Structure formats: structure tokens, C-alpha cells
Amino acid sequence: MQSLTRQTDRVLAIWGEHLEVAKRLPALAADASAAVDMIHSSLASGGKLMACGNGGSAADAQHIVAEFTGRFLRERRPLSALALHTNSSAMTAIGNDYGYEFVFAREVMAHGRKGDVLLALSTSGDSPNILRAIEVARENKVAVIGLTGETGGKMKMACDLCICVPSKSTPRIQEMHIAIYHAICELVEERLFEA
């Protein structure tokens, strides 16, 4: 019974950490609003959103794309969005032939056009394949929004807009990324489909 109490205390401590980071999110509201403007502008003018990440960040990239191509809260037409890691044949071919650091960059070369937006997710901000994708996006006039952790890593200076969650804990950063991109989805959807 004592170990169950200890475990319950640990659960409460983890949730407490989550709440502490969440309390600092309001400092990022202006950046999230700027991300809404960038994505809205692209989609409203016929552009697309591309998203990439590794591991849990790949799941988040796929999640936000699903919100745009499916729906978030409103019944509306699908929006053009693409998660760059979902084609396993392309990922493995590019990784094998060019190296893993190029798996997203080659996809950006193939699909990215001037006026599109790349949403790059990396809790460290230092993932080589994400940085290479950002570099290619910038070369091709694709706007780049980064979602990272506290320092922003190398992404901080590479992105047009970098939203840095004030935490060094990967789980807490990813939890806040969901809150950030859910707010972005809701507001982009509202602006595109105002009644």
C-alpha cells in the first residue's frame, strides 16, 4: 500500500510539472498568434502546410496535419497539409540513398513551393534532419515555424518564427506543443471559415 501511495505522489508530481510549464505558456501567445497569421495566409492563398518531426514530434506533426486535412471543430472542406514522414518508402529510400539527415529536406524540395509553410518540431531544436529541412525550405521561399524547447537550439536562429516552450523536459515540451498547435488549428479554422 505504501508503494501505491509513493506512485500516486509521483503521478501528482508529474502533473504538477505539467501545470508549472503550462502557467508559462501565456508568454508565447504573441508567437502562437503570429503562427496563425502565417498558416492562415498560406492556406488562404492556395498554399500548403508541411510538418516534420522525429519520434513523438513526428506523431505531433501527423496530428496537426490530421486536424487540417480532416477537421478540427468545424465541418468544412479539407485543408492542404502534409506530414513529411508518413511515406515510409520515400523515407527509407531517401535515408538509404542520401542519408537520414536528408529525409525531410528531399520531401521539402519535392513538395514545397513559395508561399507554403513548414512546421518543424524538435524538442532540442538540434535534430540534423529537421535543420536540413529548414535550410531547404528557406532556400525555396517556404516560411518556417519551429516548435522547440527552452533554448530553441540551432532552430531558434534558422526559423522565421520559433516558439520555444520554457522547459528542458521532453515530455513537458511535447505536452505544450499540443496545446500550442491546437490553439493554432482552432484559430486558423475560425479565420478561414468564419460564418
- The CATH number that applies at residue 161 is 3.40.50.10490
Provide the pLDDT for residue 3: 80
Domain span at 122: 2-192
Across the 195 residues of the chain, what is the mean pLDDT of every consecutive 10-residue run? 83 96 97 98 98 97 97 95 96 97 98 98 98 98 98 97 97 97 97 86
Provide the pLDDT for residue 1: 56
In whole angstroms, give the CA distance from residue 53 to residue 35.
Answer: 17
Provide the pLDDT for residue 48: 98
The three grid cell numbers given for residue 148, joined into one nine-digit string = 522547440
Provide the pLDDT for residue 195: 58
CB 120 within 8 A of CB 145: yes
Provide the pLDDT for residue 36: 98
Provide the pLDDT for residue 2: 62
Q: How many domains does the chain have?
A: 1
In whole angstroms, give the CA distance from residue 104 to residue 110.
Answer: 10
The reported pTM is 0.95
Give strand pairing partners of 147.
121, 163
Provide the pLDDT for residue 4: 78
